[in-house]
């Protein structure tokens, strides 16, 4: 899934309740496959991410080609929102939103734990 990147100098979003935060289910998973996605409007990879037995393997389209190649993605843990509805991206269905932060040039840098954690672990 793709969305416009927010400006790093923009003010914080409006205040939400903790219950609203808990509605967004962000989990860690391990990338088990990464494929070219030449049909994408913007350069992207098609990812298959293992979120453990409760959630399983989910697909994501990620605009991360500037910093990552398919061979460097396999085995990497990433964070993703797992409770958004699936979204059609070109000819692919993206089931989760893989999250990251923009670098100085606006290219996406993946968000991931700095130590291995269990696939399916939830951000809190």
> What tens-digit pLDDT sequence spans the chain (124 residues)?
444 556 778 899 999 999 999 999 999 999 999 999 988 889 999 999 999 999 999 999 999 999 999 999 999 999 999 999 999 988 889 999 999 999 999 999 999 999 999 999 999 8
Residue 96 resides in a domain:
yes
Domain membership of residue 100 as a residue range: 26-108
Q: What is the pTM of this model?
A: 0.90
**CATH code at position 84:** 2.40.50.140
Q: Is residue 20 part of a domain?
A: no
Residue 34 belongs to some domain of the structure:
yes
Q: Has residue 46 been placed in a domain? A: yes
Whether 13 maps to a domain, the answer reads no
Count of domains in the chain? 1
Strand residue runs (E) in 15-116: 26-36, 45-50, 57-62, 77-81, 87-89, 92-94, 97-98, 100-102, 108-110
CA separation, residue 56 to residues 35, 91, 110 (Å)? 19, 22, 20
78 within some domain: yes
């Amino acid at each position: 899934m793709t969305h416009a990147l927010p400006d790093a100098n923009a003010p914080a979003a409006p205040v939400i309740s903790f219950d609203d935060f808990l509605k967004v289910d962000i989990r860690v998973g391990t990338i088990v496959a990464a494929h070219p996605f030449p049909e994408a409007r913007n350069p992207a990879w098609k990812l298959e991410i293992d979120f453990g037995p409760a959630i399983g393997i989910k697909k994501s389209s990620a605009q991360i080609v500037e910093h990552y190649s398919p061979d460097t993605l396999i085995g990497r843990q990433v964070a993703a929102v797992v409770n958004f509805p699936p979204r059609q991206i070109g000819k692919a269905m993206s089931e989760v939103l893989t999250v990251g932060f923009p670098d100085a040039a606006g290219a996406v840098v993946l968000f991931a734990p700095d130590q291995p954690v269990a696939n399916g672990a939830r951000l809190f």
